[in-house]
Amino acid sequence: MRFTIPQGSQYHSPGTVHVEADASSASYFIALGAIAATEAPVRIEGVGLDSIQGDIRFVDAAQAMGASVSGGPGWLEVRRGAWPLKAVTLDANHIPDAAMTLAVMALYATGTTRIGNIASWRVKETDRIAAMSAELRKLGAAVTEGADFIEVSAPHAWRAASIRTYDDHRIAMCLSLAAFNPLAPNGPPNGVPIRILDPQCVAKTFPDYFEALFSVVQPAADAVPVITIDGPTASGKGTLASTVAARLGWHQLDSGLLYRATALAARRLGVADTDEPGLAALAATLDLRFDGEQVWLGGMDVASELRLEQVGAMASRISALPTVREALNALQLSFRRLPGLVADGRDMGTVIFPRAALKVFLTASPAMRAERRHKQLISKGIPANIADLRADLEARDERDRNRLVAPLKPAQDAQLLDNSGLSIDESVAQVLDWWAERGPFRST
């Protein structure tokens, strides 16, 4: 219950202390290595075969199922060995936490895997035997549960599933491995999506688990969902896009900033707004980095400068130049990363992401937009006049609408949203409703 430090004690540096990484957390990546159909191994650093943690014995169980594992002090490398994986019958009393990962590996095995002597599962974060049984069955697996065991056989027909996580980090992490279902022996060739509900529960032991997982998987080109929000200047699309992105935990692309950054770079370097090749070259080599609210252009935070009216006006002019637009294509596409992207601008739904799952075209009356822009500027201490702002934004709309390349117009399949009379929360709720209707989990 207590430690006593004798009076007068002195601190002595122990020199080097090696703190091992967590062997239970490694189990998900060991399983991934056993499932992945790649030449290169999954390499895990920070925990190795010499680990003194109990859960390192998971390696033996994974090998028994077919994983090919090599390792040394502080590292492991895992490849697919036997395939499909082999069902095992195992007393898992010594590795109760990591054994949950075996129950998911069983989805990739032929035969029935029995994990026994795990009565402790019933009194962990949740009743894990009941929870794992319920969630594995949703996927189509055949599951038998007993007081202290679970038996799992792979699905004959996989089903898309929304996985409940019971505020249990390990359920979220191990069941995320069901997402590789196209690789399974009876796996659906095009895959079925797996949704992990309340994924933040991984924070208990592995807050960036999903980031770590996403960093080693390559989704199919079209598999990362995109929501596009296009609309005229000051329609509120930036606020809407960033709030929707935050609510979904997705990335955001404010494409207007790329045109603004090109304009700003041109102003700094004295490139004229009529010099199309010069501007296109600048756009193609923008040294731009986003970090929260900060926007770094060539080593300087230019977030507030980018918002200046003169920069916006120049952005609008140069965005009419076809080769400038083309030069920004690859950069815009590179924002499409797991788990998803909310992209806002003028041509996100029409040109850049024409197959986006949800396209929104946002409008508001010019009077309303001028008023909003006015409030925004005044709050930043920038003097402004509503009539001038309105004239300016109407001129910009006109130019954005009438240019030959990627003119501002709703995509044919866009949802129109006039937010003149809506609060931000109401607009966000509308977009999230539309997304819920379209996503793969309409009914779950």
Residue 196 CA to residue 173 CA, distance in Å, equals: 9
* Residue 345 in contact with ligand DC, rule: CB under 6 A: yes
Find the Cα–Cα–Cα–Cα dihedral 161, 165, 170, 173, rounded to 10°: 40
Q: Which residue has the tokens 């949950």?
A: 100
116 three-class SS:
strand
Task: Report how far Cα 310 is from the mean position of its chain's Cα atoms.
Answer: 34
Query: Which of 209, 250, 259, 353 touches ligand DC by CB under 6 A?
Result: 259
Number of other residues whose CB lies within 10 A of the CB of residue 368: 18
Residue 350 CA to residue 354 CA, distance in Å, equals: 5
Rg (Cα) of the chain, in Å, rounded? 27
Residues within window 369-428 making contact with ligand DC, judged by CB under 6 A: 396, 400
CB 349 within 8 A of CB 227: no
Least distance from ligand DC to the Cβ atom of residue 293, Å:
15
What's the length of the chain?
A: 444
Stretch that binds ligand DC, among 108-116, 122-130, 251-259, 382-390 (CB under 6 A): 251-259
Stretch that binds ligand DC, among 70-78, 99-107, 184-192, 254-262 (CB under 6 A): 254-262
Least distance from ligand DC to the Cβ atom of residue 440, Å:
27
Q: Which is nearer to ligand DC, 64 or 303 (CB)?
A: 303
Query: What backbone phi and psi angles, to 5 degrees, belong to 80?
Result: -65, 130
Closest residue by Cα to residue 362 from 292, 318, 372: 372
CB 58 within 8 A of CB 95: yes
Q: Which is nearer to ligand DC, 149 or 353 (CB)?
A: 353
Q: What is the DSSP letter of 334?
A: T
* Residue 312 in contact with ligand DC, rule: CB under 6 A: yes
* Residue 340 in contact with ligand DC, rule: CB under 6 A: no
Q: Which residue has the tokens 């650093």?
A: 45
Least distance from ligand DC to the Cβ atom of residue 262, Å:
9
* Residue 316 in contact with ligand DC, rule: CB under 6 A: yes
* Residue 233 in contact with ligand DC, rule: CB under 6 A: yes
Q: Which is nearer to ligand DC, 140 or 232 (CB)?
A: 232
Least distance from ligand DC to the Cβ atom of residue 297, Å:
15
Residue 275 CA to residue 314 CA, distance in Å, equals: 13
* Residue 346 in contact with ligand DC, rule: CB under 6 A: yes
Query: Which of 250, 347, 360, 389 touches ligand DC by CB under 6 A?
Result: 347
Q: Which is nearer to ligand DC, 81 or 410 (CB)?
A: 410
Residue 410 CA to residue 386 CA, distance in Å, equals: 27
Least distance from ligand DC to the Cβ atom of residue 356, Å:
13
Query: Which of 315, 362, 368, 370 touches ligand DC by CB under 6 A?
Result: 315
* Residue 256 in contact with ligand DC, rule: CB under 6 A: yes
Least distance from ligand DC to the Cβ atom of residue 273, Å:
12
* Residue 252 in contact with ligand DC, rule: CB under 6 A: no
Q: Which is nearer to ligand DC, 133 or 319 (CB)?
A: 319
* Residue 71 in contact with ligand DC, rule: CB under 6 A: no
Task: Let me know the angle formed at the C-alpha of 395 by 390 and 401, rounded to the nearest 5 degrees.
Answer: 125
Residue 117 CA to residue 82 CA, distance in Å, equals: 26
* Residue 260 in contact with ligand DC, rule: CB under 6 A: yes
Question: Could you list the residues that contact ligand DC (CB under 6 A)?
Answer: 233, 255-256, 259-260, 312, 315-316, 319, 345-348, 396, 400
